[in-house]
Structure formats: C-alpha cells, structure tokens
Amino acid sequence: MKFATKAIHAGVEPEPHTGAVMTPIFQTSTYAQEAPGKHKGYEYSRTHNPTRTALQNNLAALENAKYAFAFASGLAATDTLLRIFRPSDEVLVTDDLYGGTYRLFVQVIEKFGLKFKFIPMQNAQNIEQHLTSQTKLIWIETPTNPLMNVIDIEAVAKISKKYNITLAVDNTFASPYLQNPLDWGADVVMHSATKYLGGHSDVVMGVLATNREDLAKEFAFLQNAVGAVPAPMDCFLMLRGIKTLHLRMQRHCENGAKIAHWLRSHPKVEKVFWCGFPDHPNHEVAKRQMRDFGGMVSFILKGDDLEEAKRVMSSFKVFTLAESLGGVESLCTHPATMTHASIPKEQREKAGLKDTLIRLSVGVEDAEDLIEDLSQAIG
Ligand SMILES: *Cc1c(COP(=O)(O)O)cnc(C)c1O
C-alpha cells in the first residue's frame, strides 16, 4: 500500500460487533474474563487497549515498521527508550536538539549513571572519534529543531551498525510522510505525535517504532511496566488526525517553500534556515532522504537585535506566538525563551542557536495571508 491509503486504512478495521467504520473510543480500564486467565487478549488498559492497538498498527505501517508503541507524550516515549540502558552506558547525541530532550537527558537520566555527549553530526565522519566501548546509543534529530540542520541517517547508520550501537531518530519535524528513518538503517524512530501526526494541536502523545524484535519486546514490557500510556480518547484523536496527514503535509511543504523564499528576499532578513534551499549545506542529503522539505522555517533579522525580534513576534495577527508546531494553524516560537530555554545559553550558542532566532511552524492557511502577516510584522 502507498502512503495515503495506509494513513487512512492501516490498522483500522470496521468494529466487528456493530460495523462501526471508525475505531471506537474503548473508554475502559478493564475487561471481563470468562474464567481466570481466559480473555480475548485484553486484560487491563495500561497493558492493551483496542483503540491504542489500532493506532499502533497504523503508526507502524506509516514508518514501515513491524512494531509501534504509543506513549503519553514524546518525552515519555524517549524516557521509555532510555530505560533499556544501564549505568555507565554512553549516548552520543546531536548537539542541536529539542530543549525538552536535552533536559530529560541531562537533568533526569544522567542521575542514573548514563553519560551523554553532545556533538555536531552534520558530517557523519565526526562521530567515530567520539565512540567508546561504552557507547550504546546514538540519538539524532533531522531536520533539527530549530536550525534545520540535516543529518545523513544512512551514513550514521553505517557507523552504528559497524559498532553494534542502536541508532534512534527523532522524526518529529519530518513526519513519516517526508521521511522514514528505518528505511535508511535506523533501529528506532521516535515521534512527538503531538506535532504533525496529530496535526490539530489538541493531543500530546509520543511514539516509538522499530523493526527489531528484541527492542519491540523491551518496549512492550516497559510500556506496561512503566505505564506512560496515552488515553483511549487521545488515541482516537490521533487516528483521526493521521487520516489527513498526507494532505496537510503537502500544503505545509508548499507554504513552507513560499515563505522561505519570500523571507530570503526580504531586505530586513539576515538569514533563513530551511533545508529546501539548494545552497543549504546538507541540501543534497535532504533531497535524498526526504520526500519534500517540510513546513518549518527559522530566520534571523538583520542587526541581530533581540528587542526588534521580540517586537516582530508580538506583532503577528495570523501566526500565533506559542510553543509547539505541526498543527494546521501557523505558529511562531522564540526558541531561546520558549522551546530551548532549558538548554544553557552557552550550549545553545555553541550549536549556533542565537537568541534572536525566530522559528515558524507554517500552517495550512492561504500562503498569501501568511506572507501578508509576516510583511506587516517585519515592517
Ligand atoms: C515536541 C518535541 C518533542 C517532545 O514531545 P512532547 O510530545 O512534547 O513530549 C521531542 N522532539 C521534538 C523535535 C519536538 O518538537
């Protein structure tokens, strides 16, 4: 099956008792057993829930994975993955990543004895020199948040396989419509489904997907043993959102390209970050591993003046100043004070993230209205 058909049909069968075409919200915590231990595959909703099962099967199909697991948030998914490792294991992480992931690694997981090293990975050659016999996981995000750096998943996977290290890719920014990391050799795909997968800014959820049976067993065990599971209602909303993922992504990409080019030609704009520009340092990699370039665009104004950047962000009428991304509505974020405030300024600047950077999540409205809004705000 091709992508759009999978988005609408994979994992979803008419409900056998009534014929309901849409998967019902199985709002139950427990299931009747005929005799002790004799049940229909469902015992307790932390372990299994039919609405969640349908969603997980759908998510697996979208990522060309055998297995997918849904969690209460993207960070809950990441936290669950990290629990398969042990004290003194080392994790190599791209240096330009979502602030919440950085906080989870450094302020929470590090206390349990894991070590994290943050390095630039746009050039995969840079990775090998940082590996030790203790390195057990490589964690990348591509395109990165918010600098739109692109990492060559296939090149990193070659190294991770050579040294028998697990490679996990945060695929939130691209969504499975634009990029399938498992096809390029990654072991695990993580999503904040809160963003493009849900697409309507009304659910917080996370995903882990994999083809490796050993990892799937661990994830199934931990999903139940740790218990960071999503509610049935949220699984229903996620299934509903995913049915239009391909349509939304097409418009996100179209609008993103129009706005990136418009910003680039604006006399007050210093730099635009978008991996669709042919002179983007990793454009060729983006072209190869992604199907299009997405709707995330960041920019810096000339003069590098924080007050002026703040004035622009407060002047929007269509864009909403808010955290998050990937919804149908356009959002504008100030990473330094919002999504990336949990990364120390020094670390942010080392990764090239200036305090004056403005990040746009370009929605699916009319591009003309979005450009007019940017035009009046920038002045
Ligand atoms: C939002 C986000 C996360 C965290 O996901 P939550 O659903 O908010 O817990 C992780 N990675 C990226 C790239 C994100 O944008």
Write out the DSSP string of 205-267.
Answer: -EEEEES-HHHHHHHHHHHHHH--PPPHHHHHHHHHHHTTHHHHHHHHHHHHHHHHHHHHT-T
Q: For a pocket test of ligand 1, which of 140, 142, 145 has the largest count of ligand atoms closer than 8 A to its C-beta?
A: 145
Q: Is the CB of 71 under 6 A from ligand 1?
A: no
Q: Is the pLDDT of residue 71 over 90?
A: yes
Pairing label, strands 206-210, 188-192: antiparallel
Per-residue pLDDT, 343: 85
Of residues 171 and 340, the one with the higher pLDDT is 171
Q: 95, 96, 170, 234: which one is catalytic?
A: 170
The domain 3-242 having CATH identifier 3.40.50.1220: the answer here is: no
Of the CA atoms within 13 Å of residue 17, those in its CB half-sphere come to 2
Query: In which element (H, E) is residue 272 found?
Result: strand 269-273
CATH 3.40.640.10 residue window(s) in the chain? 3-242
Q: How many CB atoms lie within 10 A of CB 125?
A: 9
pTM of the model: 0.96
Q: 6, 52, 95, 98: which one is catalytic?
A: 98
Mean pLDDT taken over the chain: 96
Pairing label, strands 166-170, 188-192: parallel
Query: Which atom of ligand 1 lies nearest, measured to the CA of 205?
Result: 7
Domain covering 245-378, topology: Aspartate Aminotransferase, domain 1 (3.90.1150)
Q: Is the pLDDT of residue 45 over 90?
A: yes
Provide the β-strand partners of residue 301. 269
**pLDDT, tens digit, for every residue of 240-285?**
999 999 999 999 999 999 999 999 999 999 999 999 999 999 999 9
Per-residue pLDDT, 342: 85
Q: Is the CB of 141 under 6 A from ligand 1?
A: yes
161 is catalytic: no
Q: Is the CB of 192 under 6 A from ligand 1?
A: yes
**pLDDT, tens digit, for every residue of 288-307?**
999 999 999 999 999 989 99
Q: Which protein residue's CA is at the shortest distance from atom 7 of ligand 1?
A: 74
Q: Which of 278, 370, 279, 283 is nearest to 332 (CA)?
A: 370
Q: 195, 248, 251, 348: which one is catalytic?
A: 195
CATH 3.90.1150.10 residue window(s) in the chain? 245-378
